[in-house]
Structure 1
Amino acid sequence: MEGRGVMLQQYQKIMVAVDGSNEAELAFQKAVNIAKRNEASLLLVHVIDTRAFQDVNSFDSMLADQATELAKQSLSDYRENAKNSGVEQVETVIEYGSPKLIIAKQIPQDKDVDLIILGATGLNAVERLFIGSVSEYVTRNASCDVLIVRTDVENKRTYNEEE
């Protein structure tokens, strides 16, 4: 097969959603490894769910600013980590709105993403009941490949599955 010009599938732009959860941390580590293997650029995304600030009658801009500052700091740490690990092109994006739609549709279309990497959940059982899991939505609705990370870099489960 080698000499027949068969090209291996290579990802060019890999997006990973990071939200500070343990699952997102595992997804980030895998994304770095996959980006290195594919010589792909890495897009680090943090979505600030604006619905979280709307309970207070109006959009609470102070809370939103605080969330933005935290997200900036976190993305900057992730970016440095990815660069130090050998990923040459790293871009960061903060978006506001519905994480499901932004991660499944908006950013992948705007940025030509060909692989989305997500942590397995980040929601507890009750939240999942009400908002449904972001990863489930993205898996069903994204137009590119989606990798849901359930294991660490050695492909070992890091938590038990008893929810």
Structure 2
Amino acid sequence: MALYKKILVAVDGSDEAKKAFNKAVNIAKKNEATLMITNVIDSRSFAMVEAYDRTLGERAEAQANELIDVYVEEAKKAGVTKVIKNVAYGSPRVKIPKDIAKEFEADLLVCGATGLSAVERFLIGSVSESIVRFAPCSVLVVR
């Protein structure tokens, strides 16, 4: 079994992401690894609306931070000692595997099989599919 030292888990508030988070926490505990919890705010989805409502980006960031704060607390309660919080803007399909995983030097990336947007999956493919295709490290897709 591989020894993982830097585990990245992508969360978006979905049930699938929660399952991925739980799996990442277990792996991080067993390996005494650093766990980075990331949420990528898909800025493309509100770019047009923000012309009318400038607070949308701020509210999205506040929600992302609240979501990750809950996960950070859960990870620490479960016994993970090294937890990093990451909120980013951009396309999750690109940002997670191509930027965040590389910058963090992740050796395992954990994500849910599906996320929140069925329409986006149908139109351009899933985030998990993109992660599998472009990640610079091992990927665990949790069902």
Q: Verify same fold: TM over 0.5.
A: yes
CA distance in 1, matches of 2:52, 2:90: 12
Q: What's the counterpart of residue 32 of structure 1?
A: 25
The 5 A counterparts of 1:45-56 are 45-56=38-49
Instruction: State the TM-score, normalized to the length of structure 1.
Output: 0.83
Q: What's the counterpart of residue 80 of structure 1?
A: 73
How big is the alpha-carbon RMSD for the aligned residues of Structure 1 and Structure 2?
1.5
- Opposite residue 116 of structure 1, the aligned amino acid is L
CA distance in 1, matches of 2:52, 2:103: 26
Deviations 1:75-105 (A, max 9, x none): 1110010000000000000000010111111
Is 1:9 aligned with 2:2? yes
The 5 A counterparts of 1:117-128 are 117-123=110-116, 125-128=118-121
Structure 1 ranges of 4+ moved more than 2 A:
55-61, 123-127
CA contact (8 A) 2:76 2:83 kept: yes
CA distance in 2, matches of 1:59, 1:39: 46
Match of residue 54, structure 2, among 53, 61, 64: 61
Instruction: State the TM-score, normalized to the length of structure 2.
Output: 0.94
- Opposite residue 92 of structure 1, the aligned amino acid is K
Return the offset for 1:61: 3.4
- Structure 1: segments with no counterpart, 5+ residues: 1-7, 151-163
Structure whose alpha-carbon radius of gyration is higher = 1
- Structure 2: segments with no counterpart, 5+ residues: none
Q: What's the counterpart of residue 104 of structure 2?
A: 111
CA contact (8 A) 1:123 1:133 kept: no
CA distance in 1, matches of 2:9, 2:119: 25
CA contact (8 A) 2:132 2:139 kept: yes
- Opposite residue 92 of structure 2, the aligned amino acid is P
In the alignment of these two chains, the number of paired residues is: 143
Higher RCO, 1 vs 2 (CA within 8 Å, ≥6 residues apart): 2
- Opposite residue 33 of structure 2, the aligned amino acid is A
Return the offset for 1:128: 1.2
Match of residue 142, structure 1, among 112, 132, 135: 135
